[in-house]
Structure 1
C-alpha cells in the first residue's frame, strides 16, 4: 500500500470543507477516488451518501465499512497550530479539521480495499464501503442507508477514531431543554419563589444526586447540565424563564428514561419533555458483547494494528452511526485509526503509520475471514 497515495487522499479530503448538509463536493471527491481505484461499483444515493462495492470470492452477506463525510466547525482558525483546512503533513502526522473525525479513517478504509486490489486479490466476502452524510447532527445519512440497504449486510465495522482499538459500542445521547418558569420582578424584592434561578438550583442538586446502574458493556449512564440561558436583560431584573440543557448519555430503555426525567422534574415549574426516540435530540447507543462472534473475529486484527496482542476492547464516550446499523440488526463493532480525544479540537491530527497499520490489518481481515 502506498503511503503517499493514502496521505494525498487524506489531504484532499481535509482540504474539502464538508459541514453537515454541505457534503456534496466531498462526496464527489470520494466517488472520484473510488472510481480511480477501480472498485466494482461506485454510486451515490438519495441522501448524498457515497457508496462503493468490491466483489468477494465467496457468496454470502457482505461486510459494510462505515464512515461519514461531515465534520464540525473549525471555530477560531487563529487557535490552530496549522491552518485547519490545509492538511499539513508534519513528519509522519497529518493535521487539520476532520483528520481523525473522520477523514483519516475514511482514507484508511479506502486504502485497505485498494491494497487488496493492487496485489490482485479479492476479499473473501463482498464488501460495501459507505461514507454517509450528517452524522454530526443526528445521522440522517445512516438512517437512509439502513432503510435502503445496498445489499445483504452481515457485519459492520464503524471506523470512528479508536487508536486502532476494537470498540464494542457506546451509550445513547439525548438533549433535554428544561425551561423553568418564574415571574420577572425588580431584584430588590428578592421574591425567591418567583425567581426561576432557585428552581434551577434545585434541578442542579437533583442532577448531581442522580446515580445509574452500570451497563455490562458500555458502563453507567451520565446526565449533566451543559448550557444555561435566561430572558432577563438587566442586572437588577429577575427573569421570567431560565432554560437549562441536559446532556444525557444513557444505556437504559426509552420508557425508563422518561420515568427518570419525570422524577427529576417533579414539582418544578416546568413541563420539559424528552424528545421522541430516533430524532436528532434522542438516539440510542449500541453494545456488542465481547463474546459475540463478530467481536471475536475482529479482535486479533485490531490488536495487530495496535501492536498489542493482549489489547482489550473498549467503548466510545461519543455517539456514532453504529446505533443505526445495530438497530437494523446488522452486527456492529467499531475500529478506526486516530485518537478520539483529538476529535473536534484545534489539535486534530492523525498518524500516518497508525493509518497504515489499520489499513494493513483490515485488508488481512477482509481477505481471510467470513462470518
Structure 2
C-alpha cells in the first residue's frame, strides 16, 4: 500500500472519526470532527438538530434531486479493550487495514461519504443539479430509524444511500425488527405454601410453549418473519422463598415487507386471549417495547421498537441508475439485501423514500472483536459515492 493511499483524505478522516469514542448518546466528538470537515471543505451549510444528527449540505447550481447519504456516528461498546489485538480507539493501520471500533460499522463509510461529496463538488465546481446531504446519525444502534425521522424531515430527500457494510454491493431491502413484551401477572406467596399464590413463571411458560407453535410469516426474498424469545425475567428477583408475582419475556420479531404494528401482534394476541379465556388465573399483557435514551445535546430520544422491513425490485429505475453508475467505474456490484436492520426502516419502510444500501467492508465485521476496514474498500467506496452523486445530480 502506497504512502499516498495511507495519507489520503478519506483514510485520515476515517481515523479521526474512529479515535473519537462514540457510544450511543456520546457522539459529540464525531459530530465535531464532521462539522469541521464540512466547514473546511466547501459544504454550503451544516445543520445539527435537536438529537445531534450532524448534516452537511452542498447545494448545486440548479434545481434537481436531493440525495442523502446516511451513516450513523454511534457504535456498540467495547467490553474489554485489553483483549483487542490493536487498541480499539487508535485507528492503527496494519496490513492494509484500519483497526478499531466503528471502522466497518460505520465510520469508514461516513468518512467516504463526506469526502466523496466534497470531491464531487470540487471537481464539478459546484455546477450540478440538486442537493447533496451527508448525515452523521445518532443512536442508530439503539433505534434504527428513529433519529432518521428528523433527518428526512429536514432534508426531504428523493434518494437515500445507506452506508452500512455491503462489500460494495447494492442492497435493496432488509427485514425490519420489532421488540415485543409479554408480561404475566401472578400472585405472591411464601414458597412453603405455593398453592396460595399464582406463579407467574409457570403461567408465562405455558404461553411460551404455545407461541412456539405459531406459523411464521414468509417472504420469498427476505425469508421468515422470525419470532424468537431473547430474554425472560421474574420478580421479585432474587426470589428467596417467594412465589414470583410477575414475569416478563421479550421477543425479537423480524419483520417482512408490509407488516404493521397490528398485523404482527394480532396472532399472538389472539393466542393469549384464548388462553386467558380458558384459565381464569392467567393475566397476561402484550405490548411493543419502548426505548428512551439521552442524546449528547441533552434531548431525550424515545421510540417504540418497531422498525419496518422494506424491499425494492431490482429493475426499478433508481436501482438500475445506481447499478449502472457503479459498472461505469469498473465495479461489479451484486444486487441483494441486508440481513440486518438499518435506518432504511425509516426512509424506505416508513417514509417510502427510494433507498438503497452501499457500503465498504464485510457485514459480519460489525460489533466484533478486532473490527477493521480494508483501506482498499474505503478508497473504492469513496469512488462509488462520487459515481452515485454524478448519476443522480447531473
Normalising by structure 2, report the TM-score.
0.83
Q: Which residue of 2 aligns with 1:146?
A: 152
Q: Contact (CA 8 Å) 1:94, 1:349: kept in 2 or not?
A: yes
**CA 1:140 to 1:214, structure 2 compared with 1: closer, same or farther past 3 Å?**
closer
1:240 aligns with 2:263: no
Displacement after TM superposition at 1:167 (Å): 1.1
Aligned with 2:19 (options 11, 15, 19): 15
Displacement after TM superposition at 1:324 (Å): 2.1
Trace 1:63-142 onto structure 2 (pairs within 5 A): 63-120=67-124, 122=126, 123=128, 125-138=130-143, 139-142=145-148
Q: Which residue of 1 aligns with 2:303?
A: 279
- In 2, the alpha carbon distance for the partners of 1:198 and 1:81 equals 46
Q: Which residue of 2 aligns with 1:312?
A: 335
1:167 aligns with 2:205: no
Aligned with 2:345 (options 320, 323, 327): 323
Aligned with 2:382 (options 343, 359, 363): 359
- In 1, the alpha carbon distance for the partners of 2:24 and 2:152 equals 19
- In 1, the alpha carbon distance for the partners of 2:224 and 2:166 equals 20
- In 1, the alpha carbon distance for the partners of 2:329 and 2:199 equals 57
Q: Contact (CA 8 Å) 2:314, 2:335: kept in 1 or not?
A: no
- In 2, the alpha carbon distance for the partners of 1:238 and 1:30 equals 54
Of residues 247-256 and 177-186 in structure 1, the stretch that sits farther from structure 2 once superposed is 177-186
- In 1, the alpha carbon distance for the partners of 2:21 and 2:136 equals 15
Residue by residue over 1:179-220, the C-alpha shift from the partner in whole angstroms, topping out at 9 and shown as x without a partner, is 223344555667599333333332332333222232355332
1:262 aligns with 2:269: yes
Superposition RMSD in Å: 2.9
Q: Which residue of 2 aligns with 1:250?
A: 255
- In 2, the alpha carbon distance for the partners of 1:205 and 1:236 equals 26
- What is the aligned residue count? 367
**CA 1:160 to 1:120, structure 2 compared with 1: closer, same or farther past 3 Å?**
same
Displacement after TM superposition at 1:14 (Å): 0.9
- In 1, the alpha carbon distance for the partners of 2:212 and 2:25 equals 36
Aligned with 2:359 (options 321, 333, 336): 336
- In 2, the alpha carbon distance for the partners of 1:296 and 1:236 equals 65
- In 1, the alpha carbon distance for the partners of 2:171 and 2:50 equals 30
**CA 1:222 to 1:17, structure 2 compared with 1: closer, same or farther past 3 Å?**
same
SS in 2 for 1:107: helix
Displacement after TM superposition at 1:42 (Å): 2.7
- In 2, the alpha carbon distance for the partners of 1:210 and 1:182 equals 25
Unaligned stretches of 5+ in structure 1?
none
Normalising by structure 1, report the TM-score.
0.87
1:203 aligns with 2:207: yes
Q: Which has the higher strand share?
A: 2
Q: Contact (CA 8 Å) 1:27, 1:50: kept in 2 or not?
A: yes
Q: Contact (CA 8 Å) 1:305, 1:357: kept in 2 or not?
A: no
- In 2, the alpha carbon distance for the partners of 1:305 and 1:190 equals 72
Q: Which residue of 1 aligns with 2:319?
A: 295
Of residues 232-241 and 334-343 in structure 1, the stretch that sits farther from structure 2 once superposed is 232-241
- In 2, the alpha carbon distance for the partners of 1:338 and 1:200 equals 42
Displacement after TM superposition at 1:116 (Å): 2.4
Q: Contact (CA 8 Å) 1:31, 1:42: kept in 2 or not?
A: yes
Residue by residue over 1:254-311, the C-alpha shift from the partner in whole angstroms, topping out at 9 and shown as x without a partner, is 22112122034332531122358992422323322223221121124456789435x2
Q: Contact (CA 8 Å) 1:276, 1:282: kept in 2 or not?
A: no
Displacement after TM superposition at 1:225 (Å): 1.0
**CA 1:181 to 1:42, structure 2 compared with 1: closer, same or farther past 3 Å?**
closer
